[in-house]
Structure 1
Amino acid sequence: MAAQHVKPMFIEPQVSEMVKRLFQLTASEVRPLPSYDDQNFYVASSDGGEYVLKIMNSEDSKNPTIIEVQTYAMSFLQQNGLPAQTAVPNTSGQLMSLEEMDCGYGCQKYLVRLLTYLPGVTISKVPLTPKLLYETGKTAARMDTILQKMEHPHLGILQRETFIWSLSNVVLLEAYVSVLDGDPLQEVVKSVIEHYKTSVDTKRHSFRKCINHGDFNGLNVLVQPDDNDGYKISGILDFGDMNSGYYIHELAITIMYMMTEHPEPVQVGGPVLAGWESVLPLNEAEKDCLYLLVLSRFCQSLVLARHSVTLHPENADYLMITSKRGVHILKHLWELGKENVEKVWFQSAAQFRN
């Protein structure tokens, strides 16, 4: 985020007023939910309904078309059997509205949507069994294959050429690597970027294209208890990083984030990969690049978190969630090397399938 003050700062009474005015709902409970640079509120209405009011930051609110495409994608997944939130129409029949508000730095406009509430807890709060990791990989693959069938007049807006979080744009990290000055990790990050240039960029023509969710992390996947003392996926959240990418990118992102939630990170890749390949087997080029793409996502996460902390020191705890463990995992993966890590992943995926 460029500006210091793009994050909205609405308080509970304002949320209650907005929900009443825009959706004719009387709030019986309003409480904040965690968020990066937007604001999310849990809203229970007096008639028993549960919702999430999502207030976009003022910068992203200037791009309603991309929010419209994200909102459409969520309902498309829901219609195709995956648990995503859907937007509730307001009194004028619109799925989003611009609300003007002074949050202490002059009047700004914020895009507001009321989304259905999905039950469950984040996957980061439960034990990641091999079975649940398999389900996570399978769900991520199903999601991308469904999104690939989606039609919308503004799909082209997802071609986010300079989007810093896209795994097509790892080289853009070079502009930020100086935030690691004096940290031994900097050398690892630079090496990963160099290997990415020589080994991933050159094979991209063989990757299969799709639309990526792009942020399949431990806070964006919800689970509920199943009938066998385990958990099943009950929700997919936050489509703000959607972009035109490749199937292999989604898999790498999913593996990377699940590793940060697991006591034995290297063991995560096998079951996630097996679940993914139950829907969409990888081709040779995709297999060959998986290790480097997972490392590249760690680099993006660590470098961009450090960069964000320099902009928003007050939000450091939230920004560094993935970072804290990620540093150790990245070093460990780098030291183990491609061959050793791939051996663990591909052998355990094969065992899982059998």
Structure 2
Amino acid sequence: MSTETRQGGALPGKPGPDTHATEVFTHIVDKVPLDTIVVTLRKQYGIECVALEMLSGERDQNYRIADRHGATFVCKVSHPSEPARVTQTQAQVLRHLARVAPSLPVQRVVPTLAGEDFAKIDLGRDEPVRVRLLTYLHGTPMHQATASVTTRRSLGTTHAQLIAALAILTDAETTPDLLWDLTHIQRVRPLLAHLRSVSDRRLAECFLRDFEHHAQPRVSSLRQQLIHNDLNPYNLLVDDNTAGICGVLDFGDLVAAPMLNDIAIASSYLISAHGHPLDDVCDYVAAFHREIPLRHEEIDTLFLLIAGRLVMTVAITEWRATLHPENRKYILRNNPAAWLGLRRLSTVSLEEAGARFRKACGLDGA
């Protein structure tokens, strides 16, 4: 097995973001051999693996595992640059959700035979590799499901229930240097240099300036709590029969931040391709508001945060695709939709967006 290599945060001659925030994206290691994973599952979990299928992933090695009894699990081999406390926090959150909100469609942590949240594999590196086992959720990934009002409303309701459950977990420890933290969007400004199109770069810079001038000063006054931070269509499952949300996956980007950030992130993947750009977003926001009423300052800031998330998406993914061309297709999976979203939002004023959100939430006369 070759030794680990460590790349810089950006291409030669181009600026990059803070090293601590990007190490998990730029630290390259060989994958753990499959036979080692199978042996670990047998020895530390008591599971005889009869089928193994590799799943996509941005940082972790992910596999769908089937045992001889027909049970299905997800096996996650953590990226070596992920601190152990972050892995532990994800397990803590899932155990918390199972306890306080058992009806939420999230995975459950499968403990090792010793009762631990994850197993360790010593491969002679600086730190042991951590292996986690989670229950498997069935459903159609939202990006493959037929878009519908029912799904968007279900997302709003489910998300609000998740937010409410996470709000009462106050002792979870998360990483302060997550590149995908919308609160610190200024970290991605150097990455705009990697956008090849001059017109695209100008569009992203325009939205970033609006965020910094109008949204950044309000961030500290917004409701803060632990959030999922990555409710994209690849992390959501839809029930084929009811069209409702039946799975919320991947708590790997957990961060303490404004609650509104999480709403903006989910909204950024719902920009309508036809009609008014915010029509589908309003379906989701209205459903969320019925569960957790949004405040006026949150509604007035939401549009800027949605655009900010889209800027982060195009900047980070295009930068990472240059670092990891072998994984380019997966890294850029949300990129075209993000650019479409930015172009669509460029036709909407801040005042118009606020008015539409207020109307959707029944606050237009308030």
Which amino acid is 1:64 matched to? A
Matches of 1:26 and 1:196 in 2, distance apart? Answer: 51
Alignment of 1:154-173 (within 5 A): 155=172, 157-158=173-174, 160-173=175-188
- Whole-angstrom CA distance in 2 between matches of 1:258 and 1:43: 32
Residue aligning to 1:222: 237
CA distance in 2, matches of 1:39, 1:119: 20
Instruction: Please say if 1:302 is aligned against 2:307.
Output: no
Report the alpha carbon displacement of residue 197 of structure 1 after superposing the two structures with TM: 1.7
Report 1:1-354 matches (<5 A): 1-2=22-23, 6=28, 9-60=31-82, 63-79=83-99, 80=101, 81-101=103-123, 109-152=128-171, 155=172, 157-158=173-174, 160-180=175-195, 182-226=197-241, 230-259=242-271, 266-350=278-362
Distance 1:314 1:88, change over 3 A: same
Answer whether contact 1:6 1:59 (CA < 8 A) is retained: no
Cα distance in 2, alignment partners of residues 8 and 214 from structure 1: 28
Residue pair 1:141, 1:251 contacting (<8 A) in 2 also:
no
Within 2, Cα distance between the matches of 1:115 and 1:7?
A: 23
3-state SS, counterpart of residue 219 of structure 1: helix
CA offsets per residue over residues 113-148 of structure 1, 9 Å max, x none?
Answer: 111111212111111211210110121121111111
Instruction: State the distance in 2 between where 1:244 and 1:107 align.
Output: 28
Determine the C-alpha separation between the residues in 1 that align with 2:248 and 2:30: 23
How far apart are residue 241 of structure 1 and its match?
0.6
Q: Post-superposition shift, 1:37?
A: 1.5
Equivalent residues of 2:159, 2:288 under 8 A apart: yes
CA contact (8 A) 1:23 1:90 kept: yes
Query: CA distance change for structure 1 residues 183 and 301 in 2, over 3 Å: closer, same or farther?
Result: same
Structure 1 pair 21–8 and aligned structure 2 pair: CA distance change class (3 A): farther
Retained in 2: the 8 A contact 1:179–1:306?
yes
CA distance in 2, matches of 1:258, 1:9: 34
SS of residue in 2 equivalent to 1:125 = coil
How far has the Cα of 1:338 moved from its partner? Answer: 2.3
1:247-291 per-residue CA deviation (whole Å, 9 max, x = no partner) reads 11111011112338x766532211111111011111111111100
CA deviation profile, 1:140-160 (whole Å, cap 9, x unmatched): 1211111111254xx2x32x4
Gapped runs of 5+ residues in structure 1?
none
Inter-partner Cα distance in structure 2 for 1:313 and 1:337 = 37
1:97 offset after TM fit, Å?
Answer: 2.3
Distance 2:74 2:54 in 1: 9
Q: Matched residues in 1 for 2:29 and 2:330: separation?
A: 14
Helix, strand or coil at the partner of 1:95: coil
Contact conserved, 2:52 with 2:65, CA < 8 A, in 1?
yes
Structure 1: distance between partners of 2:56 and 2:339: 23
Pairwise CA RMSD of aligned residues? 2.2
Give distance in 2, aligned partners of 1:107 and 1:147: 33
1:224-255 CA distances to partner (integer Å, 9 max, x unpaired)? Answer: 234xxx32222111111100011111110111
Q: Secondary structure at the match of 1:225?
A: coil
State the distance in 1 between where 2:177 and 2:26 align: 21
Structure 2: which 5+ runs fail to align?
Answer: 1-21
Between stretches 89-98 and 314-323, larger displacement belongs to: 89-98
CA drift of 1:5 comes to 5.3
Q: For the Cα contact (< 8 Å) 2:140–2:240, is it kept in 1?
A: no
What residue identity is the alignment partner of 1:218? P
In the aligned structure 1, how far is the partner of 2:71 from the partner of 2:126?
31
Describe the SS at the equivalent of 2:79.
Answer: coil
Alignment check: 8 A CA contact 1:8 1:58 kept: no
Q: Secondary structure at the match of 2:346?
A: helix
For residues 288 and 330 of structure 1, what CA distance do their matches in structure 2 show?
Answer: 18
Percent identical among aligned pairs is: 21
Matched AA of 1:166: D
How many residue pairs align between the two structures? Answer: 338
Q: Equivalent residue of 1:94, what SS?
A: coil
Contact conserved, 2:97 with 2:165, CA < 8 A, in 1? yes
